[in-house]
Structures are given as C-alpha cells and as structure tokens.
A and B are shown apart, each in its own frame.
Chain A
C-alpha cells in the first residue's frame, strides 16, 4: 500500500511537470495575464492618479475594494486575539482560576 502511494505521488509529480511546460515564460509580454488590463494600468497610472508607483495605484485605487477587505481582515484578527486572550479582572467569576492568579509576576 505504501509503494502504491509513492507511485501515485510520482505520477502526480510527472503530471505537474508536464503541465508546467505549457505555461508562458516568466515576464512574457504576450502571456494572457499581461495582455488583459495590465497595459492599461501601466500606461494610465500617471494620467489617472499622478502616482508613479503602479503597485500603489493598483493596490489603493484600481483595486481599493480588495485592500479594504484586507484591512478589515487584519482588524478582525486583532479583535479576535483580544477576545480570546485578554485577561479579565480578578473579580470576574466566570474566568477566575488558579492559573490566572499565580502568573502575575
């Protein structure tokens, strides 16, 4: 059974390597990802936003929804940390335990 798993994994690796040969080259200007909206962003970023850094104009202006979502995710993660880890007051009966009282160095 173990050799069967190894065989399946090797077949999968061979399939992946075969599929890699069909991908476009790195930084190929004719690749599908580089011909759709990317030329518009690169050409119009000065005219639209006066921002020479295309990464910033895409991140904050053309794709502003995405960045808003990222900021909300980070803030929510912080709030979840507070909810899970925050130490309650010592007279809070629901979380009072021996551990909470002894580690206050």
Chain B
C-alpha cells in the first residue's frame, strides 16, 4: 500500500483511509447491511447514469409493441427485458428513470425538512425558556395534524407538481428533527465537558460547533436515512393517487397507478415498479439498521458482547463434544 503512495504524501494521510477501510470491513461482516448498501449504490448509479443505461427513452410510445410480457414469459422477447406497458413504453427504461424521481424527492425533502427542523431544535434547545415553550408547542400542534389528508388538500388546491410535492412533504415532516435535536442539545448541555467549555470562556459558536454538533451527527444521520425511506414511500403513494409526479414525467408510484387498470391482463405493469420501491426502501432499512448499531456506542457494546458470547458457546460445545469423544 505505502509503496504506491506518492512520496510527497504526509505520514498522517493514510489514517482516514484506514478508518474508512475499518468501517468497510465492519460493514462487510454484517451481510444484510452490506447487501443493502450495495443495492443502494447500484440504484444511485442507475439513476445518475440513466440516459446511458436505459435501452429506450422512457416516454417513447410504440403502437406495435403494446403490453409485451417480460423476456422469460411465453411471448416475451429480448427487445424488452421487462416487457412494455399499455402505450408500448419499455418498462425497464421507465424503472431506471423512475429511480431519479424517488431519489431527488427523497434527498430534497430530507434536506429541506432537516435544515428547518434542526434550526428550530437548536433554537429551542439553546434559548430555552419561552422560545422553547412556544416552539415545542408548535411542534406538538403540528404533530397532531391529519398529515396525509392535509397534504392532499393543499396539493389539490395549489395543483400537483414535483415542486409542490417536495415543499408540502418538507413542511409536514420537519417536526421529528426538531424534537430529536432539542432533546440531544438539552442533555449534552448538562454534561461536564460542555460546562467546562463554557466555564473557561469558549464563545457560544465554538460550544455549538465544536462540542454539541458532533453529538448530533450520528443520530441525525440515522434519522435522515430512515426519514428518506418514509419520503420515498410517501412520494410513491402521492404519485399513485395522482397528486404527485404528473405524466409525462416518470415515477414508480405513477407506473403502479397506470398499471392497476391492467392487472387482469398484464401483471408485470404493477409488479416491477412496486418491487423497485420495495427493494429500495428495504435496502436503505437494512443499511440504516447496521449504521444505527455501529454509530451508537451502547449498541456496539451489545453487538460485540453477543458475538463474543456466540464464539464462547461454540467453543464450549466443541470442547464438550471432544470430551465426550475422549
């Protein structure tokens, strides 16, 4: 390894690389987490390079190639691997382009809602007193709103589009970030090291960015990833109901919705886009599960204790068998 490095590299440089490598090794040991992570990488790559990978344009219709079944079915052909829909559009191409919608909506909503929620949470946690009471009462009130119905009403009034959906989903999903951040800020502020930092006269910005923010990173990362799955599901549901992404744009939820009129004749229209949503969300969940345990020191302790106990039990059993044999 070191031989490949250019000589100008400072000695300390390999360290972050080593840490990344250790993290990767740990991920490799958790098989479900690793599989989830690999699938996420594949989906992101597919979405990014969609025009290069997709065999057809997702919107090109063809009267002669309508409702063609997938390649392994009796009448399938290699021209359309996963078949075509009622307008003769290639399903595989639509799935690859549909990944873009899910990821873009997911990322933008999590970023918007997260930024807003974290700001509110920091404000409430730091200012305390009346600011805290008012902000948190606001959160309580909005949590008790009839969420999805309000989204439907607002989208119906303003008119459905990708932008509307992102803004409305962000406005209805920021509360959880505020609650989590406020809780952590309140508990971290009480720790001796923050008190010490304040005592020796650190400016508040240094206390926030240097001492409190690192504590927020790992719970926020896990929360953001889990919220991402909720947003992907919500986008699919809204598009399915006709209130999200509008044709000619593509979305997995939209494709399931157009396919549902054909479930008696063409099962593949509904099955594949739905499977895409399911696999995406499942992969993220598997990865998030690993991440949560890895970034939480207490959970880590439990995991290693369990692994050690399993090894010990196995050895004891083996020793027992050997003793019986002897």
Does chain A bind chain B?
no
Interface residues of B, Cβ cutoff 8 Å to A: none
Interface residues of A, Cβ cutoff 8 Å to B: none
